Structure 1
């Protein structure tokens, strides 16, 4: 990674051909490097440049480059929540032609892409990026823990049931609650699962309607408070992230955990079988998965929708080549390789079918991933999403301080003031 980060950004490579710089997040880097080489042509080479690990830091680095009209930012991996902001600022080249038509049709369920993935790249009735992989979260758990607690995992479960089950058996519940983007992912999923939104009418920009002070907001805060106050809370709750709770699933002693986390988890654990600190074959066979927990009993949950979209920088000197390269690195084959090699699930149904047929994943898990993306809940699609996320983080962190009687109300007022320019983050 250090070598990648230190790569000199140059207009031409050793071959004398133009170099297209492809800024990538540090997931699936080996596969990215493979496709950077495979998708290079006689006209250009593609060079992989590594972004920081945090989505917030990725946005900052790319935004600084694009705001300065940097012509060396040719291709970029984008967290879906930043597509609207970058498109609204004029920083992304629109996707056009048959590919744009297919993506637009997919939003309504009539195209090649998963509708949840296709929706992340549209803004003001145009397409501004190409979905590469479509991420979502499911509930991972130890089957033996759920069984000991008497929890029927063949039926939808609620957050309260999961917290109570873990507490009753000396287990824990793993979440992402550090002061960063993934904490907003959790909060948003809880609120949407209760039928609400953090904000609505996002096309109005700064005049979007702030909805977090609602019954749904209070339901979400109640769950966070319940976990923080329970025996199931992990010791590092306030600084927890996608990686910190992985080790709690198969501890040296104890029943393990319930954990909400992304699709990479299965391949991560499978690759650690028999290694120091990893699961045994017997423990791995005890790994279960289920749909994201419901916020309100009887109401369908709204699993988070994430992933990575590929955008072409508006200031590149090689726009046509960059768009050609973007099509190549988001090909069906590339999506299948990312899934099989890195556990990063596809954005198209055709690639999903290939992954399911490969035998590398349990078929029910693959269908759970696909269903969760299409029936899940996106974070607010807004040109001011960075402000929205920052304001929510400021008032909902730490999770140990969340109070349903005050946190939604305080955060609504603060978010409204931030959007109106009356307060600074």
Structure 2
């Protein structure tokens, strides 16, 4: 999931660690009114006619084709795309404002997977009768879990996401590095060899997403999880002021200090990093599956087409842990024509439409069968490591006050990585205090 679309930004296996569902009465702040139970009652979805689809900016260029496929079959129930900004935070803000105004301007919402609990608890999206979505059992189980709040379905997963390590295979081979790194130390050693090559002059070792937005929450969480730490434990309590979390954050801080991560990367979201990798400025790059198709274009837009491969993220002592990404489609509580909205979601979540989308965009599907599809695997060899990434991914905190929680995480991580240079241990101690006040039992 890319988190510039909330994609940008971009989710998934059997269990989602760190999940937390709070009592609705605990919600407050500027995220709107909350009520007990969340959402509507899951009754009949009524009304047919034109609807709107609120979604982040589509940098893949394929969303319009997917929607047109629906419109051509449903001339009296056409869908109008309401394209929101690239930034996930700006997307969420507009959706929240629309909901707080009880506006019917948005019918179907393209939600970052981690927003589902917040929107459901605040009664901003409608509970969905599971019997109207019979294909849920054919999706990756953990993607379905992201669409639920208090064991009730509020959104349907249409794309998933797991972080991947893109790397310049041509450079690694020439430098005598025979396999992609499984640990951070191995990545550092590989970079030392590669950056000595004349053709890698001016390149940097690594970059991810470090601008102060949702992508930083993801990259920080991955660093912490990949060092054996957690942000929020399985008991639902914050536990980020630990030696393991410190090791993860310190790795990023040190990489900025020694220029392994270029200084410019403090402004990188998904697209800035993708462009840097495609322009030959990076040896390794952490990003989502959507990058694969764009970086392999042979129209002159990418200097690395045919020169890179994909591997799991590295960690402290072995393969790292991705943060679960992806997008769920939910129906605004204030929408008209909810029956049409539900059918549109089923259409977009179908195996046929998901396969068509993978073929065009390389975005991660939620249908389990598509990861075994021979034609897709031939087109996209990354599908096997992607499925592994999704199946071992960890969720961000599943909380009602998610907007406040992710802001606190971003503030702490950015203060340690940026020119503020807050000592990592202090940043984590401050974050622990802040999260403890936001996440209450």
Task: Name 1:304's counterpart in structure 2.
Answer: 323
Task: Name 2:306's counterpart in structure 1.
Answer: 285
Superposition CA RMSD, Å: 2.4
Task: Name 1:84's counterpart in structure 2.
Answer: 117
Task: Name 2:424's counterpart in structure 1.
Answer: 404
Inter-CA distance 358–213: structure 2 relative to 1 (3 Å threshold): closer
Task: Name 1:228's counterpart in structure 2.
Answer: 256
CA shift, 1:192, in A, is 1.9
Task: Name 2:383's counterpart in structure 1.
Answer: 366
CA shift, 1:397, in A, is 0.7
1:9-408 maps to which residues of 2 (within 5 A)?
18-27=49-58, 30-40=61-71, 41=74, 43-98=76-131, 103=136, 111-147=137-173, 151-153=177-179, 157-170=182-195, 171-200=204-233, 209-249=237-277, 251=279, 256-271=282-297, 273=298, 275=300, 278-279=302-303, 283-294=304-315, 296-298=316-318, 300-354=319-373, 356-358=374-376, 361-363=379-381, 365-398=382-415, 399-400=417-418, 401=421, 403-408=423-428
Give a deviation string over 1:12-62, Cα, whole Å, max 9, x none. Answer: xxxxx8320111222266433233333242552211110111111111001
Q: Is the 8 A contact 2:51 2:336 kept in 1?
A: no
CA shift, 1:289, in A, is 1.3
CA shift, 1:137, in A, is 1.3
Inter-CA distance 278–337: structure 2 relative to 1 (3 Å threshold): same
State the distance in 1 between where 2:247 and 2:52 align: 45
Inter-CA distance 37–56: structure 2 relative to 1 (3 Å threshold): same
Give a deviation string over 1:135-162, Cα, whole Å, max 9, x none. Answer: 11111111243345654526x6112321
Inter-CA distance 101–251: structure 2 relative to 1 (3 Å threshold): closer
Q: Which runs of 5+ in 2 are unaligned?
A: 1-47, 196-203
CA shift, 1:215, in A, is 2.1
User: How high is the TM-score relative to the length of structure 1?
Assistant: 0.82
State the distance in 1 between where 2:142 and 2:243 align: 26
State the distance in 2 between where 1:291 and 1:249 align: 17
Inter-CA distance 28–180: structure 2 relative to 1 (3 Å threshold): closer
Task: Name 1:416's counterpart in structure 2.
Answer: 436
State the distance in 2 between where 1:289 and 1:235 align: 24
Give the 3-state SS of the residue equivalent to 1:132 in structure 2: strand
State the distance in 2 between where 1:201 and 1:349 align: 26
Give the 3-state SS of the residue equivalent to 1:183 in structure 2: helix
Q: Is the 8 A contact 2:232 2:238 kept in 1?
A: yes
- Report how many aligned residue pairs link the two structures: 380
Deviates more, 1:368-377 or 1:37-46: 37-46
Give a deviation string over 1:99-153, Cα, whole Å, max 9, x none. Answer: 55653xxxxxxx3111332221111111111111111111111124334565452
State the distance in 1 between where 2:268 and 2:61 align: 26
Inter-CA distance 323–397: structure 2 relative to 1 (3 Å threshold): same
Deviates more, 1:393-402 or 1:175-184: 393-402
State the distance in 1 between where 2:114 and 2:85 align: 17
Q: Is the 8 A contact 2:293 2:362 kept in 1?
A: yes
Deviates more, 1:404-413 or 1:305-314: 404-413
Inter-CA distance 266–412: structure 2 relative to 1 (3 Å threshold): same
User: How high is the TM-score relative to the length of structure 2?
Assistant: 0.79
Deviates more, 1:111-120 or 1:371-380: 111-120
Give a deviation string over 1:262-320, Cα, whole Å, max 9, x none. Answer: 1011111122x251x622xxx533212111111x204x421122121111111212222
State the distance in 2 between where 1:78 and 1:261 align: 19
Q: Is the 8 A contact 1:135 1:263 kept in 2?
A: yes
Q: Is the 8 A contact 2:49 2:340 kept in 1?
A: no
Inter-CA distance 223–151: structure 2 relative to 1 (3 Å threshold): farther
CA shift, 1:360, in A, is 5.7
